Chain A
Amino acid sequence: MSAPFRLATGGRIDRSKPLRFTFDGAAYTGFEGDTLASALIAGGVHLMGRSFKYHRPRGFLTAGPDEPNALVGVGASQDRYTPNLRAPVVELHDGLVAESQNRWPSLRFDAGAVNDLFSRFLPAGFYYKTFMWPKSFWKTVYEPKIRSMAGLGKAPTAPDADRYTQVYAHVDVLVVGAGPAGLAAALAAAESGRRVMLADEQPEVGGSLLHDVTATIEGRPAAAWVAETLAALEAKGVQVLTRTTAFGYYPHNMLGLLERVTDHYANPDPKLPRERLWQVRAGEVVLATGAIERPLVFPENDRPGILLADAARAYANRWAASVGKRVVIATACDSAYRTALDLKAHGIDVAVVADLRPMPIGPLVDAVRAAGIRVEAGTAVTGTRGRLRVRVAHLSRLDGRGGAHAPEPVACDALLMSGGWTPTVHLFSQSRGKLRFDEGLQAYVPSVSVEKERSAGGCNGVFDLAAVLADGYAAGESAARATRVRAPASRAFPVDGTHPVTGGHLGAVPHSRNPSAVKAFVDFQNDVTAKDLKLATREGLRSIEHVKRYTTTGMATDQGKTSNMNALGIVSEAIKAPIPQIGLTTFRAPYTPVTFGSFAGASRGDLFDPVRKTPSHSFAVEKGAPFENVGQWKRAWWYPRPGEDQHAAVRREVKAMRSSVGMFDASTLGKIEVVGPDAAAFMEMLYTNAWAKLGVGRCRYGVMLREDGFVMDDGVIGRLAADRFHVTTTTGGAPRVLNHMEDYLQTEFPHLAVWLTSITEQWAVTAVQGPKARDVIAALVEGVDLSDAALPHMSVVECRVCGVPARLFRVSFTGELGYEINVPADHGAAVWQAVYEAGQAYGITPYGTEAMHVARAEKGYIIVGQETDGTAGPDDVGLGWAIGKAKPDFVGKRALARPAMGAADRKQLVGLLTEDPATVLEEGAQIVADPVFEVPARMIGHVTSAYESPTLDRSIALAMVKGGRARMGETIYIPMPDRVIAAKVVAPVFYDQEGARLNG
């Protein structure tokens, strides 16, 4: 397709390199150097999307990252599709595929536009008012409808095919923004020989100088000066990052930078990542982020073809794209006069410049008049016409009493506006620096710094080019010297061809039309009008933070870059209060949207989280075992035989273990070695039990409490020597327990000579459980008398198993005769295999975590974190026997003596047997005393564990019930959505209550 609005000459595009692309399926051609926006404007396209709420046709407003309207989805395939990109910052490449968003069925005809006609039913805060009743409608009707009608782009449906990397960097000086101020700052900092990084979001450095075709710096055209300066910076070793947005300012001068590496290539090098996330720690920071032009808030200021004035100038000068053939300019600021002059120089018809100010003066105004362009002072645009593109602007002379005279219609195909400039203080504000409202500039500017940073140029409220360069240089110098004292610029940059700029307007433009019938947009992306803001103040909202949330102004993805100051101006006028009194909403990271991919970096798929595998992992894989995720561990859940489901497999495993022998990989248990002359004294303090008299070679079940007396962890602890304990913890609790131990050792008991070492990863554990356990391991264990007398239940011996050093524990978590063979982790797989082979004669059955859980529940063994929830004391879960009552002190002892810990109605561990033995309760289900109850029911407890017991051939459950031990034999009730289940309270040990099997 031809490009009717491409200017014949000029621009920083390469006309020898045409690029083909499509927008909504139509083919266009641009040039290398174009953005999607500039190429479409050159092609005469302004209709870019439908607005968020009213579905009004919208076009480009800006030429940069502040764009609120022209959001597009880019990508030829779903795995490389990105929604919500701002067209002015999408660089063109050959074959680019882009589409508009938020329209149905088509961009030109959009059904949602009926919202515009019914807008009087959709005032500010309408969702707080309209969709309240009936309550059930919110989830079923209102929310789905609103979500389908409103909204931005659609998330891609395929996984992201691209790669993202993350880089950490340390620099002495980071300069953010490579416009005139940033370039000058980098020059100054580079002189000092310090490590300097210069980052800019655009594809090339230069900022506003890239579209300034009249200014000269040090006698050279601005563009030439930029090129020379860049070469000088690179020669001095400055790291220059383009296409890199500093999006976040974090404490201690940590900045987040997003570098777009390949998006601008048609066929990127597959070795390159799509984006790099830089985390830069800077000694000193110079913020040179420039300023953002404000729109004027006049009725119907949102039609396609209505742009900011300096954006139109940039499109013409930088990209040789004309926004129209005949333009009207509405302004309150001198800078729009530069636009008038530059467009006229390109041969574009500038019909009129309408200036809100009663008497605009100055060299720029004179130059425009001298060029023969009509200038109307004290004149506003009070309305526009044109359905899919602006056709007519209504110009009205202001009457000086807050209204306007009858309008003069002026035909045009583009309407350019300028309400002045807002310093880009986002990063400064993120750094928690304090802003100050400058009455002269009518803008917030940086005042008091918190971090080691300084602002320079436009973001510092300095707009005259010579002053901007000097300000930047001085900022760079002070950064290099690591001082906040700004020396007077030691380098002046002689500048010509530019004029100082003054003027601006905050708030709505006066008009005499019916205020309830017109829409003058403040926040284009969230469709917030001047009327909405005034309504909010009438409804009593005073703080800008409240007005913002009520009207949603400034809450869109652009974070109000173009709208916040106008919103403040309108609220200020409405409630007759000065702007500083109304405040300013908080700026939050990110400055512009950042992809999830860059935050995730390499942490996806297999690299998302480390995987911890047990020594028997490949054995389990071979047997087709499903795995249960326990923290980062993969644990075999059950070992199915052909045709078996979970139920059948678990049932077989438990029965085999109880009747003959089973084996289980217990390597994931946390293990800590407590060593030192005071090891026993330390254990006395950290566990409730008595340890001093525990013989070497003996084990004890230990209970660990927090200082508040609640159960924190448990495990079997073996004494290997007078000064050495082998402590086991729950699988998930190991790091927490070690931290807890270190805490007390370092801070409360530093006089104890004890050393703590995590040995979880060092020892692999094969548990062999069942009546035949001794027979199985007898052939593998060297030189140990395994008889019940020599190695009774709860003992430990250091020996060799299968020829490798081992710690052999005789312990049981199943209630059967059992051993746990600890061997160095490297030998774990071999020993597991050896046990499996030795056990074949007895039909040894490997069992998984599910069978382990069932077996321990049959015996009423608790699992900390399942039966306990951080509010269970040791007595509550039946561990009162484990408290060393004669001990003078241990962690949690005094708290246990509080009256509440002994109250009769505390939740206590009980067993439950359902009346119907086939009914398995649901874990977590609440328990009531009376089957007939009113909602809300009085709950007396909850089910903590529930299984079908293969051993008892019926369902069993453990529960925490108020005063449970006094309720033995009572029937309690578990209400479920469809019925109420009755169950009898019993002791929590269902099988072998006397423990005879342990001593087999």
Chain B
Amino acid sequence: MLIIRCPICGDRPELEFRYGGEGHVARPAATEALDDQTVADRLYMRTNPKGLTVERWRHVHGCGRFFNAVRDTVSDFFVTTYKAGEPRPDLDALKKEAVR
């Protein structure tokens, strides 16, 4: 069972969390202006990278907060977590850090 670092509560077991889909898929403002293809892509198309991916998680059986996490889809391990609203980290830099 993975240990996940909640940005509010710290290290907690995986059981306390719920996955929330891909991170940084913002609900676009002024949606009326978007064409249908863009809307469909926003709704349904997600990346499925091998390696580092950004996800939303919720500490549902804890503080209840949604937060973002960088996880490695190859090793399954979390690389880092951060609060919702904070900027997306530089994945290339994280990758280099992991190699080091």
Name A residues whose Cβ lies closer than 8 Å to a Cβ of B. Answer: 250-252, 254, 279, 432, 450, 707-708, 739, 742-743, 746-748, 750, 889, 891, 893-895, 897-899
Q: Which of A252, A748, A889 has the largest number of chain B CB atoms within 10 A?
A: A252
In the complex the two chains form, is B43's CB within 8 Å of A707's CB? yes
Q: Which of B13-60 contact A (CB under 8 A)?
A: 18, 20, 26-27, 31-32, 34, 36, 39-40, 43-44, 56, 58, 60
- Which of A251, A254, A750, A898 is in CB contact (< 8 Å) with B39? A898
A747 B66 Cβ-Cβ under 8 A? yes
Q: Provide the residues of chain A in CB contact with B43, threshold 8 Å.
A: 707-708, 895
CB within 8 A of A894: which of B39, B64, B65, B77?
B39
Is A898 a contact of B76 with CB atoms below 8 Å? no
Beyond the given A739-B18, A742-B58, could you list 9 further A-B residue pairs with CB under 8 A, ordered by the A residue number?
A: A250-B1, A251-B1, A707-B27, A739-B60, A742-B66, A746-B66, A747-B85, A894-B31, A895-B43
> In the bound complex, do residue B34 and residue A894 qualify as a contact, i.e. CB atoms below 8 Å apart?
yes
Q: How far is the CA of A961 from the CA of B31 in the complex (A)?
A: 31
CA distance A708 to B58 in the complex (A): 21
Q: A252-B2, A898-B36, A898-B40 are in contact. Are A748 and B27 (CB under 8 A)?
A: yes
Q: Report if B3 contacts A (CB, 8 A).
A: yes
Q: Is the CB of A895 within 8 A of B75?
A: no
Closest chain A residue, CB of each to CB of B1:
A254
- Pair B66/A899 contact, Cβ less than 8 Å: no
The reply to whether A450 and B75 contact each other, CB–CB distance below 8 Å, is: yes
Do B27 and A251 touch (CB < 8 A)?
no
Query: Is residue B79 contacting chain A, with contact meaning CB distance below 8 A?
Result: no
Q: How far is the CB of B60 from chain A (nearest CB, A)?
A: 7
A739: chain B residues within 8 A (beta carbon): 18, 58, 60
Task: Select one of B3, B26, B31, B56 contacting A893, CB under 8 A.
Answer: B31
Bound form: Cα–Cα A894–B65 in Å: 27
Beyond A743-B20, A894-B31, whether A251 also contacts B40 by CB under 8 A is no
Complex CA–CA separation, A748 to B40 (angstroms): 19
A249 to B34, CA, bound (A): 49
Q: Are B58 and A750 in contact (CB under 8 A)?
A: no
Which of A747, A889, A891, A893 gathers most chain B CB within 10 Å? A747
Listed in ascending order, the chain B residues whose CB lies under 8 Å from chain A are 1-3, 18, 20, 26-27, 31-32, 34, 36, 39-40, 43-44, 56, 58, 60, 64-66, 75-77, 84-85
CA distance A252 to B15 in the complex (A): 13
Across-interface contacts of A750 in B (CB, < 8 A): 84-85
CB distance from B19 to the nearest CB of A (A): 12
Q: B residues within 8 A CB of A250?
A: 1
In the complex, A450→B76 CA distance in Å? Answer: 11
29 contacts between A and B (CB under 8 A): A251-B77, A252-B1, A252-B2, A252-B3, A252-B77, A254-B1, A279-B1, A432-B75, A450-B75, A707-B27, A707-B43, A708-B43, A739-B58, A739-B60, A742-B58, A742-B64, A742-B66, A746-B84, A747-B66, A747-B85, A748-B26, A750-B85, A891-B27, A893-B31, A894-B39, A895-B39, A895-B43, A897-B32, A898-B36
Name B66's closest neighbour in chain A (CB-CB): A746
**Could you tell me the distance between the alpha carbons of A813 and B66 in the complex, rounded to whole angstroms?**
35
- Top 6 A-B pairs ranked by shortest CB distance? A894-B31, A252-B3, A254-B1, A251-B2, A746-B66, A708-B43
CB of A93 to closest CB in B, whole Å:
35
CA of A708 to CA of B1, assembled, Å: 33
Which residue of B is nearest A891, CB measured? B27
Q: Nearest CB to that of B65 among chain A residues? A: A746
Which single residue of chain B is at the shortest CB-CB distance from A256?
B1
A708 to B, closest residue via Cβ: B43
Which residues of the partner chain B approach A897 to less than 8 Å between Cβ atoms? Answer: 32
Closest residue of chain B to A450, judged by CB?
Answer: B75
Roughly how many angstroms separate A889 CA and B76 CA in the complex, as a whole number?
38
Residue of B nearest to A744 (CB): B27
Q: Are B31 and A889 in contact (CB under 8 A)?
A: yes
Q: Determine the chain A residues whose CB is within 8 A of the CB of B85 once the complex forms.
A: 747, 750
Contacts of A747 in B (CB 8 A): 56, 66, 84-85
Query: In the complex, how many angstroms separate the beta carbon of A461 from the nearest chain B beta carbon?
Result: 25
Chain A residues near B44 (CB-CB < 8 A): 708
CB distance from A759 to the nearest CB of B (A): 16
B1 touches A894 (CB 8 A): no
Residues in A whose Cβ lies below 8 Å from that of B77: 251-252
Q: Which single residue of chain A is at the shortest CB-CB distance from B29?
A: A889
A897 to B64, CA, bound (A): 33
The CA of A746 and the CA of B57, in the complex, are separated in Å by 12
Residues of A within 8 A of B58 (CB): 739, 742-743
Instruction: Report the separation of the CA atoms of residues A915 and B40 in the bound assembly, to the nearest whole angstrom.
Output: 42
| A708 to B31 alpha-carbon distance, docked (Å) | 12
Shortest Cβ gap from A949 to chain B (Å): 39
Nearest CB of chain B from residue A279's CB, rounded to whole Å: 8
Q: How far is the CA of A251 from the CA of B3 in the complex (A)?
A: 8
Nearest-CB distance from A674 to chain B (Å)?
16
Contacts of B3 in A (CB 8 A): 252
Chain A residue numbers with a CB within 8 Å of B31 are 889, 893-894
In the complex formed, the residue of A with least CB distance to B38 is: A894
A residues less than 8 Å from B20 (CB atoms): 743
Residues of B within 8 Å of A748, CB to CB, are 26-27
Look across to chain B and name the residue whose beta carbon is closest to the beta carbon of A899. B36
Q: Which residue of A lies closest to B43 (CB)?
A: A708
A706 nearest CB neighbor, chain B only: B43
| A913 to B12 Cα, complex, angstroms | 56
A897 to B65, CA, bound (A): 32
- Taking CB atoms, residues of chain A closer than 8 Å to B18 are 739
> A255 CB to closest chain B CB, in angstroms?
10
* Complex: chain B residue closest to A168, CB-CB: B13
CB B65 to nearest CB in A, in angstroms, measures 7
Do A251 and B76 touch across chains, with their CB atoms under 8 A apart?
Answer: yes
A254→B11 CA distance, assembly (Å): 14
Assembled-state Cα–Cα distance A894/B75 (Å): 38
Q: Could you say which residues of chain B place their CB within 8 Å of the CB of A895?
A: 39, 43
Minimum CB–CB distance for B82 against chain A, Å = 13
| Distance (whole angstroms) from the CB of B9 to the closest CB of chain A | 15
CB pair A894–B32 under 8 Å, yes or no, is: yes
CA distance A649 to B58 in the complex (A): 46
Nearest-neighbor residue (CB-CB) of A893 within chain B: B31
Give the distance in Å from the alpha carbon of A934 to the alpha carbon of B76 in the complex: 49
In the bound assembly, the distance between CA atoms of A893 and B20 in angstroms comes to: 21
Q: How far is the CB of A409 from chain B (nearest CB, A)?
A: 57
Query: What's the nearest-Cβ distance from chain B to residue A710, in Å?
Result: 10
Chain B proximity of A709: nearest CB distance (Å): 9
A893 and B77 CA atoms in complex are apart in Å by 37
A427, B56: Cα distance in complex, Å: 31
Task: Please measure, in the bound complex, the distance between the C-alpha atom of A450 and the C-alpha atom of B72, giving whole angstroms.
Answer: 13
In the complex, the chain A residue whose C-beta lies closest to that of B28 is A894
Which A residue's beta carbon lies closest to that of B77?
A: A251
User: A31 to nearest B CB, angstroms?
Assistant: 42
Q: Within 8 Å CB of B84, what residues of A?
A: 746-747, 750
B36 to chain A: closest residue by CB: A898
Residues on A with C-beta less than 8 A from B40 are: 898
Tell me, in angstroms, the Cα distance from A750 to B31 when the chains sit together.
Answer: 19
A392 → B minimal CB distance (Å): 54
Tell me which residues across on chain B come within 8 A of A893, comparing CB atoms. 31
Residues of B contacting A279 in the complex (Cβ-Cβ under 8 angstroms): 1
> What's the nearest-Cβ distance from chain B to residue A251, in Å?
5
Give chain A nearest CB distance to B100 CB in angstroms. 16
Q: How far does the alpha carbon of A332 sit from the alpha carbon of B54 in the complex, in Å? A: 54
Give Cα A965 to B7, complex, Å.
Answer: 51
Identity of the chain B residue whose Cβ is nearest the Cβ of A279 in the assembled complex: B1
Query: How far apart are A561's CB and chain B's nearest CB, in angstroms?
Result: 26
Say whether B66 contacts A743, CB under 8 Å.
yes
Least Cβ distance of B90 to chain A in Å? 21
**A756 and chain B: residue at smallest CB distance:** B64
A254 to B84, CA, bound (A): 29
Give Cα distance in the complex from A416 to B33, angstroms.
81
**A888 nearest CB neighbor, chain B only:** B32
- How far is the CB of B31 from the nearest CB of chain A, in Å? 4
* Smallest Cβ-Cβ distance to B84: which chain A residue: A747
Name the residue in A254, A707, A891, A894 with the highest tally of chain B Cβ atoms < 10 Å from its Cβ.
A894
In the complex formed, the residue of A with least CB distance to B3 is A252
